Amino acid sequence: MLLATTGDRLNRVTVLAAIVGLLALLGPSWLLLKANRLVAGEAVGAFALSSPYAYALLGVWGLLLVVSFFRFPGRAWGLALLCTLALTLALLLIGAGSSALLAASSDPERARVSLQGGVWLTLLALYIGFFGTLGEAPQRSGARALMVLPGLALAVVLVLTSFGSVGLAQELTSQGGDFTAEVLRHLALAGTSVLLACAIGIPAAIWAARREEAARLVLPTASFLQTIPSLALFGIMLLPLARLGREVTVGEALLFSAVGLALMFAALFLSRRVSGRARGLFTLLTMLIALLPVLLLTVMVAVVLNDVFVALFSLDLGALTFPSSLSAPLSSLGVRGIGTAPALIALTLYALLPIVRNTYTGLVEVPGAATEAGRGMGMSPGQILRRVELPLALPLIMEGVRASSVLSIGITTVAFLIGAGGLGTFIERGISQQVPDLILLGALPIIGLALLADALLRGLGQLVTPRGLR
Amino acid sequence: MIRLEGVSKRYGEQVAVQETTLAFPEGELTVLIGPSGCGKTTTLKMINRLIQPSSGRIFIGEREVTAVDPQDLRRGIGYVIQSIGLFPHMTVEENIQVVPRLLGWPKARSAARAHELLELIGLEPGRYAKSYPKELSGGQAQRVGVARALAVDPPVLLMDEPFGAVDPLTRERLQDEFLRLQGELKKTIVMVTHDIDEAIKLGDRVCVMNVGAVEQLGTPEEVLANPKTRFVRQFVGSDRALKRLSRLRVRELMRPAAALELSASAKDAEAALARQRTVYVTRSGQLVGWLDRRAFAFDPVIERAYTEVSPNYAASEGDDVRQALSKMLSQGVAELPVVAASGELVGLLDLTGILAVTVQAAPDAAEAA
CA distance B250 to A188: 79
Of the candidates B44, B20, B42, B34, which has an alpha carbon nearest to the alpha carbon of residue B188?
B44
Rounded to a whole number of angstroms, the distance from the CA of B148 to the nearest CA of chain A is 9
Rounded to a whole number of angstroms, the distance from the CA of B369 to the nearest CA of chain A is 43
The reply to whether the predicted model has a pTM over 0.90 is no
Of the candidates A391, A367, A371, which has an alpha carbon nearest to the alpha carbon of residue A379?
A371
Q: Is B87 in contact with A373 (Cβ distance < 8 A)?
A: yes
Q: From residue A458, give the alpha-carbon distance in Å to each of A223, A224, A262, B68, B219.
A: 24, 27, 39, 46, 60
User: Residue A16: its pLDDT value, please?
Assistant: 95
B97 membership: H or E segment, kind and range: none
Model confidence at B366, in pLDDT bands (50, 70, 90)?
very low
Q: Is B89 in contact with A466 (Cβ distance < 8 A)?
A: yes
Rounded to a whole number of angstroms, the distance from the CA of B99 to the nearest CA of chain A is 6
Partner-chain residue, chosen from B73, B89, B132, that has the shortest CB–CB distance to A392: B89
Q: Residue A370: its chain B contacts at CB < 8 A?
A: 85, 87-88
Task: Examine the domain organization and report whether A137 and A37 are in the same domain.
Answer: yes
Task: Examine the domain organization and report whether A191 and A159 are in the same domain.
Answer: no
Q: Is B84 in contact with A369 (Cβ distance < 8 A)?
A: yes
Q: Residue B82: its chain A contacts at CB < 8 A?
A: 369
Task: Report phi then psi at A400, rounded to 5.
Answer: -65, -45
CA distance A391 to A458: 17
User: Residue A8: its pLDDT value, please?
Assistant: 63
More confident of the two residues A377 and B302: A377
Percent of chain A having pLDDT more than 70?
Answer: 98
pLDDT above 70 (res A366): yes
Model confidence at A1, in pLDDT bands (50, 70, 90)?
very low
Task: Examine the domain organization and report whether A152 and A39 are in the same domain.
Answer: yes
| Residue A90 in domain | yes
Q: Residue B69: its chain A contacts at CB < 8 A?
A: none
A interface with B, Cβ–Cβ below 8 Å: 367, 369-370, 372-380, 383, 387-388, 391-392, 466-469
Rounded to a whole number of angstroms, the distance from the CA of B92 to the nearest CA of chain A is 10
CA distance A411 to A406: 9
CA distance A368 to A164: 61
CATH code, residues B251-356: 3.10.580.10
Contact B282, B345 (CB under 8 A): yes
User: Residue A284: its pLDDT value, please?
Assistant: 77
CA distance A29 to A25: 9
Task: Examine the domain organization and report whether A151 and A59 are in the same domain.
Answer: yes
| Residue A252 in domain | no
Q: Residue B72: its chain A contacts at CB < 8 A?
A: 378
Q: What is the ipTM of this complex?
A: 0.75
User: Residue B361: its pLDDT value, please?
Assistant: 52
Partner-chain residue, chosen from A373, A376, A392, that has the shortest CB–CB distance to B48: A376
More confident of the two residues A329 and A412: A412
Q: Is A378 in contact with B99 (Cβ distance < 8 A)?
A: yes
Residues 6+ apart with CB under 8 A from A418: A234, A238, A338, A339, A342, A343, A346
CA distance A239 to B255: 101
Task: Report phi then psi at B108, rounded to 5.
Answer: -60, -40
Q: Which DSSP string do the residues of A161-226 spell out, in sequence order?
A: HH-TTSHHHHHHHHHTHHHHHHHHHHHHHHHHHHHHHHHHHHHHHHHHHH-HHHHHHHHHHHHHHH
Model confidence at A2, in pLDDT bands (50, 70, 90)?
very low
Distance of CA B51 to the CA centre of its chain: 28
Rounded to a whole number of angstroms, the distance from the CA of B57 to the nearest CA of chain A is 20
Q: Residue A469: its chain B contacts at CB < 8 A?
A: 88-89
Q: Residue A372: its chain B contacts at CB < 8 A?
A: 50, 81, 85
Task: Examine the domain organization and report whether A207 and A340 are in the same domain.
Answer: yes
Mean pLDDT of chain A: 89
Of the candidates A304, A303, A291, A296, which has an alpha carbon nearest to the alpha carbon of residue A248?
A296
Partner-chain residue, chosen from B75, B132, B133, that has the shortest CB–CB distance to A377: B75
Domain residue spans of chain B: 2-248, 251-356
Contact B220, B200 (CB under 8 A): yes
pLDDT digits (tens, 9 = 90+) for B29-47: 999 999 988 999 999 999 9
Rounded to a whole number of angstroms, the distance from the CA of A441 to the nearest CA of chain B is 45
User: Residue B359: its pLDDT value, please?
Assistant: 66
- Contacts of A399-402 spanning 24+ positions with Cβ under 8 A: A399/A358, A399/A461, A400/A201, A400/A354, A400/A355, A400/A356, A400/A357, A400/A358, A400/A359, A400/A362, A401/A194, A401/A198, A401/A354, A401/A355, A401/A358, A401/A457, A402/A453, A402/A454, A402/A457, A402/A458, A402/A461
Residue of chain A whose Cα is closest to the Cα of B130: A468
Q: Residue A388: its chain B contacts at CB < 8 A?
A: 87
Across B93-108, average pLDDT: 94
Determine whether B181 is exposed, middle or buried from the number of CB atoms within 10 Å of its CB (0-12, 13-18, 19+): middle
| Residue A460 in domain | yes
Task: Examine the domain organization and report whether A234 and A311 are in the same domain.
Answer: yes
Q: Structurally, how many domains does chain A consist of?
A: 2
Q: Residue A466: its chain B contacts at CB < 8 A?
A: 88-90
pLDDT digits (tens, 9 = 90+) for A219-266: 999 999 989 998 899 999 999 999 998 998 989 999 999 998 888 888
Model confidence at A276, in pLDDT bands (50, 70, 90)?
low
pLDDT above 50 (res A460): yes
Rounded to a whole number of angstroms, the distance from the CA of B98 to the nearest CA of chain A is 8
Interface mutation vs chain A, best among B87, B94, B136, B158, most A CBs within 10 Å: B87
| Residue A51 in domain | yes
Highest-confidence segment of B144-158, B218-232, B345-359 = B144-158
Partner-chain residue, chosen from B50, B82, B99, that has the shortest CB–CB distance to A375: B50
- Domain B2-248, CATH among 3.90.110.10, 3.40.50.300, 1.25.40.80, 3.30.70.930: 3.40.50.300
Task: Examine the domain organization and report whether A23 and A63 are in the same domain.
Answer: yes
Q: Is B88 in contact with A378 (Cβ distance < 8 A)?
A: no
Q: Which DSSP string do the residues of A28-90 spell out, in sequence order?
A: S-SEEEESSSSS--EEE-SGGG--HHHHHHHHHHHHHHHHTTS--TTHHHHHHHHHHHHHHHH
Q: Residue B129: its chain A contacts at CB < 8 A?
A: none
Q: Residue A376: its chain B contacts at CB < 8 A?
A: 48, 50, 74, 79, 81, 85, 158
Instruction: Identify residue B256 by its one-letter amino acid code.
Output: P
Report the side by side order of strands in the sheet with B307-308. Answer: B259-261, B278-283, B286-292, B307-308
pLDDT above 70 (res B147): yes
User: Residue A5: its pLDDT value, please?
Assistant: 47
Q: Count Cα neighbours of A343 within 13 Å in the Cβ-side half-sphere.
A: 29
Domain that holds residue A208: 177-244+296-317+334-469
Domain final position from A164, A195, A227: A164
Rounded to a whole number of angstroms, the distance from the CA of B76 to the nearest CA of chain A is 8
More confident of the two residues B142 and A6: B142
Interface mutation vs chain B, best among A372, A377, A389, A398, most B CBs within 10 Å: A377
pLDDT digits (tens, 9 = 90+) for A109-141: 888 888 889 999 999 999 999 999 998 888 887
Question: What residues does B15 pair with on adjacent strands?
Answer: B10
Contact A125, A20 (CB under 8 A): yes
B interface with A, Cβ–Cβ below 8 Å: 48, 50, 70-76, 79, 81-91, 98-99, 102, 132-134, 148, 158
Across B89-110, average pLDDT: 94
Q: Is B91 in contact with A383 (Cβ distance < 8 A)?
A: no
Rounded to a whole number of angstroms, the distance from the CA of B124 to the nearest CA of chain A is 19
Of the candidates B103, B57, B56, B95, which has an alpha carbon nearest to the alpha carbon of residue B77?
B103
Q: Is A378 in contact with B75 (Cβ distance < 8 A)?
A: yes
Q: From residue A24, give the alpha-carbon distance in Å to each of A122, A210, A433, B285.
A: 6, 55, 29, 90
Q: Residue B84: its chain A contacts at CB < 8 A?
A: 369, 373
Neighbours of A242 (CB within 10 A): 17
pLDDT digits (tens, 9 = 90+) for B6-28: 999 999 888 899 999 999 999 99
Q: Residue B133: its chain A contacts at CB < 8 A?
A: 468
Model confidence at B369, in pLDDT bands (50, 70, 90)?
very low
User: Residue B66: its pLDDT value, please?
Assistant: 86
pLDDT above 80 (res A33): yes
Residue contacts between A and B (CB atoms, under 8 Å) = 71
Rounded to a whole number of angstroms, the distance from the CA of A375 to the nearest CA of chain B is 8
Q: What is the largest CA-CA distance in chain B?
A: 83
Of the candidates B198, B134, B197, B133, which has an alpha carbon nearest to the alpha carbon of residue B160?
B198
Q: Residue B88: its chain A contacts at CB < 8 A?
A: 367, 370, 392, 466, 468-469
pLDDT above 70 (res B360): no
CA distance B287 to B339: 7
Q: What is the largest CA-CA distance in chain A?
A: 86
Q: A71-75, A323-327, B193-197, B314-318: which has the minimum mean pLDDT?
A: A323-327
